[in-house]
Structure 1
Amino acid sequence: MKDNIPLLSMPQVSLVKLMMDKACLPESLFPVFRIEKDNAEEGRGLSYAQQRLWFLHTSSNENSFYNEPILLELEGELNFNALKSALSQIQQRHEVLRTKFRTVDGVPVQIIQQVDEFPIDMIDLSDLPSATVNERVYQLYKEDASAEVDLSNDHLCKATLIKTGTNKHLLIFFMHHIVSDGWSMGVLLSELKILYENFLVGKKGRLEPLPIQYSDYALWEKQMLSGSYLDKLSSFWKKELQGAKQRISLPRDQNIVNAPTFKGDRIPIRLSKELSDNTVARSRELDERGTLFITLLSAFYIGLNYLGDDDDICVGTDIANRPNAESEQLIGFFVNQLVLRCKIDESCTFKQFATHVSDLSYRAFEHQAFPFDRVVDLMKHDRVSGISPIFQVKLVLQNAPIQDLKLPEVKMKLKPFSRGTSKFELLIDLTLRDSIIEGWLEYSLEYFEPSTAQRIVDVFENILSVAVACPEKSILQIKALVKQQERAVRRQKRKQRSSKTLKPGISYRSPRMKDAATE
């Protein structure tokens, strides 16, 4: 795998780069099995990731949770026939996009179907006022995001093209998570660009046939995860997570949710150019395997320790989980969740701590092939509704985010849209774009007030700022400086509030004054 992966979006692959940057990748993260074609006529088996999602989908009342719509803004002279033709070819090329999931003898299987044309609707809103257009687009997006999906009959990949003005369109692209992941969207957009251009210039040639399909990978995965290799993975994760706290301490505003709705919101994160540059530069200095992800993760651990006072913390992240070049070409649900457990010694300097985080990440990466649901089964934790098992907080660094694309005569730009849900209590999703580290904190409204979520973002940024500026300071010293900063901010807010008056002689107390006064 190279740094210039020809894909536009993928799950967090910093751990891959962590190994590749210093040529310290283990000889084999996966046993060497050639991925052979699955020649079953029908009823092909699911991958472990698909099995997990199938179980969650069929056992939950909220089965829209893994709908994955994205919104793309298209500006320019769009050729609808070229767009539809390209999408139809991609659908034919990737069997997983034509797959339904049904139960045979009590076991879920993949049923691959023949579909001639890609399902894309066209809606013209160009005559409506802009405010009405925005409202209608949001409504359409939310309908896709919240729609109840029948995995056995519905289209699991479809699109809606909305005309909003002259040479202006919005494309709502929907792929259910059981047939896709972030990397897959990059594959799709890369192929879309090539096939769209071919249509315009009259080329009838198609892309080179894929050597394997996702269902072949699913069969290979079952063969790979067996015998002594499976025992090795199982033994590692059992030892790695033995005694880990089932739920970390956080400054929750509400601690028990009897009937979780998974409602969530996002707070934008955008580091200054100076802090972004310092973080990137310091990442190269902190450790021989140091990467940006390790620096951010180290600051995140310290922030969680500061906020909740736990010194043994499990954080989740995503790993691409594509074992070879053949799988990198596929659309499908490959991404695996990796648990990174860290024990924090406050006497360590940040530089020492980053090395420790790098080492534990390396160990986890070596054993990344073990499916997360198998890790959950291994730990035998009691399942609690609304609480994610093993880890409740997650950090993702999008190493190759969806970039702004340009089709012939058409600019294509991703428009961020919040679904209003959160799978985890806290998820920080970041990317490095144009030398700026930016992204968002997605948080559960069932546990955190917006003001608390904003404090979490502020603490993370402050710790990162101090740590990269003074990596020789101990964790204890870094936390003390951040506490001083928080106190200074609170004093300033009190001063501003106390200076407000409604009229001469009558003091005014803002609604938030009570909270500040009790801090």
Structure 2
Amino acid sequence: MSTLEIIASLREIGVVPRLQDGNLKLVGKTAALSAELLAAVRDGKAKLLAFLEESQADTRQEQITPITQQAHYPLTPSQRRMWVLSQFDGGNQAYNIGNGFYLQGEVNATVLEEAFRVCIAKHESLRTTFAEVAVEPVQVVHDELPFALEQTTLVGSADVKAALRQEYSALYHHQFNLEQGPLMQVKLIHLGGESHALLFNMHHIISDGWSVGLLVQEVMGYYREKCLGNSITTQALSIQYKDYAAWLAEKFDGSFGQKAKAYWQGKQLEGVEPLVLPYDRPRPQQTTFAGASTRMYLSPSQKEALDQLARQQHTTLFNLYRALLSLTLHKVSGQDQLILGTPIAGRSVMQLHDQIGLYVNTLPLYSQITSATPFTAYLKELSRDSLDTFNYQDYPLDRIIEV
């Protein structure tokens, strides 16, 4: 097993390899270590130590520094893509991120609104709008943007659940004005008694899935402290999104950009035909952004069987699912070359872990399927490819397409 395969296998069972005083230490669910994986760790200990030392050095060196204040700032490639797509009919609403959850108990709306205001003051992304300067889209950071917690009640509604679905749909399909802002809406709905629903909607150009979780965590934390009679204190962020945008542009112009470009050029993705499936209706001539999603749930026994197979093959569930999905699409379409798109957090630097903003990136995962290749060999091939590809997770999809 390679060093990266060992690390991936350890993480899959909840074990993290760490460097402590120059020694290798395994932290987490070490009881789940199989004899085979433990032997692989022992055999590859020297390489593991070298890898961890190098990674630690890279982490220390990879620092984003604040830039000087300006009237406006360049967009990241992901923001630029969102900006362009939002100019199309329906494109703006297609990139809304809606979410919501139930609150049980008495809710102090005034304190809740204050908690959101504190979060908005902390994160510049929540105070950002977009404009065009010399035909170029730019982001503008404001000292303040208007925000108000919307409130309504569904008490007395004949069907509260149906009415709540309508409220969520209306909020989710709100069309944000990227130039005026704000680009976040929050609504508190009284359902009856001490039951409430808190719905919120943000435009993807200032947020992503990670950011949504962070927003909820921070707001609820501020709300709890205020309700306990404590003053709300926040720790200033070391950087903001505009600093990340400048750092990313500089990174692309350096050695990372050259290596990433060479890596993606070697993939030769332009020769892969688009996936053709036996659709139940013709594909529209123009993009409509209309669509839906469906979910499939595995039983506990199915999940355990897949976990066991992944452990046996020293890979992750992600790679196993990738292999199974690729083979399924191959069977349905008859195509031997496939590209799957996968979102990735894009927060390779520790400073980005507490940031609200658009950091997520989409990576194309290429695979070629041949009937002569055994499944285990195919799975190992995909596992290596995933590890290689994730090394370039900061390289934006737009540039990959240009390559």
After superposing on structure 2, the runs of 4+ consecutive aligned residues of structure 1 that deviate more than 6 Å are: 28-31
Corresponding position of 1:356: 381
Partner residue, 2:170: 143
Could you say what secondary structure the match of 1:171 adopts? Answer: strand
Does the 8 Å CA contact 1:42/1:110 hold for their aligned counterparts? no
Give 1:345's aligned residue: 370
Q: 2:74 aligns with which of 15, 36, 45?
A: 45
2:337 partner amino acid: D
Q: How far does residue 210 in structure 1 lie from its aligned partner after superposition? A: 0.8
Q: Secondary structure, in 3 states, of the residue corresponding to 2:271? A: coil
- Pair 1:52–1:300, CA change in 2 (3 A): same
Question: For the Cα contact (< 8 Å) 2:131–2:138, is it kept in 1?
Answer: yes
Over 3 Å counting, the alpha-carbon distance change for 1:15 and 1:123 in structure 2 is farther
Alignment partner of 1:82 out of 104, 111, 114: 111
Corresponding residue number in structure 2 for 1:492? none
Q: Give yes or no for the alignment of 1:331 onto 2:356.
A: yes
Change (3 A) 1:244 1:52: same
Q: Which residue of 1 aligns with 2:132?
A: 103
Q: Secondary structure at the match of 1:265?
A: coil
Q: Is 2:218 the partner of 1:218?
A: no
Q: How many residues align?
A: 361
Aligned mates of 1:15, 1:99 — CA distance in 2: 41
Task: Report what 2:265 is aligned to.
Answer: 238
Q: Deviations over 1:121-173 (max 9, x none)?
A: 000111222x1x33332222222222222100132012011101111111111
Deviations 1:353-392 (A, max 9, x none): 21111011111111222100111222xxxxxxxxxxxxxx
The answer on 1:253 being equivalent to 2:280 is yes
Alpha-carbon displacement from aligned partner over 1:225-244 (angstroms, at most 9, x marks no partner): 10332122111112113453
Structure 2: tracts of 5 or more residues without a match? 1-7, 18-47
Identify the structure with bigger relative contact order (alpha carbons < 8 Å, sequence gap 6+).
1
Q: TM-score, normalised by structure 1?
A: 0.65
- Partners of 2:294 and 2:96 lie apart in 1 by 21
Residue 34 of structure 1 pairs with residue 63 of structure 2: yes
SS of the residue 1:364 aligns to: helix
Q: Hey, what does 1:369 align to over in structure 2?
A: 394
Structure 2 Cα separation of the partners of residues 188 and 79 of structure 1: 18
CA distance in 2, matches of 1:369, 1:16: 24
Which of these residues, 220, 239, 242, is aligned with residue 193 of structure 1?
Answer: 220
Q: Give the structure 1 partner of residue 211 of structure 2.
A: 184
The equivalent position to 1:301 in structure 2, one of 299, 316, 326, is 326
Name the structure with the higher helix share: 2
- 1:56 maps to 85
Cα deviation, 1:387-406, whole Å, max 9, x if unaligned, reads: xxxxxxxxxxxxxxxxxxxx
Q: Cα gap change, 1:280/1:29 in structure 2, threshold over 3 Å: closer, same or farther?
A: farther
SS in 1 for 2:84: helix
Equivalent residue in structure 2 for 1:155, among 167, 178, 182: 182
CA gap 1:266/1:52 in 2 versus in 1, 3 angstroms: closer
The residue matched to 1:236 in structure 2 has which SS? Answer: helix
Q: Which residue identity is paired with 1:339?
A: P
Taking structure 2 as the reference length, the TM-score comes to 0.83
Deviations 1:45-73 (A, max 9, x none): 21111111111112445321101111212
Contact 1:88 1:117 in 2 (8 A): no
Distance 1:355 1:110 in 2: 43
Q: 2: CA distance between counterparts of 1:103 and 1:56?
A: 15
How much identity, in percent, do the aligned residues show? 28
- How far apart are the structure 2 equivalents of 1:231 and 1:72? 44
- Structure 1 191/363 Cα, relative in aligned 2: closer, same or farther at 3 Å? same
Q: Is the 8 A contact 2:59 2:349 kept in 1?
A: no
Q: Distance in 2 between matches of 1:59 and 1:219?
A: 27
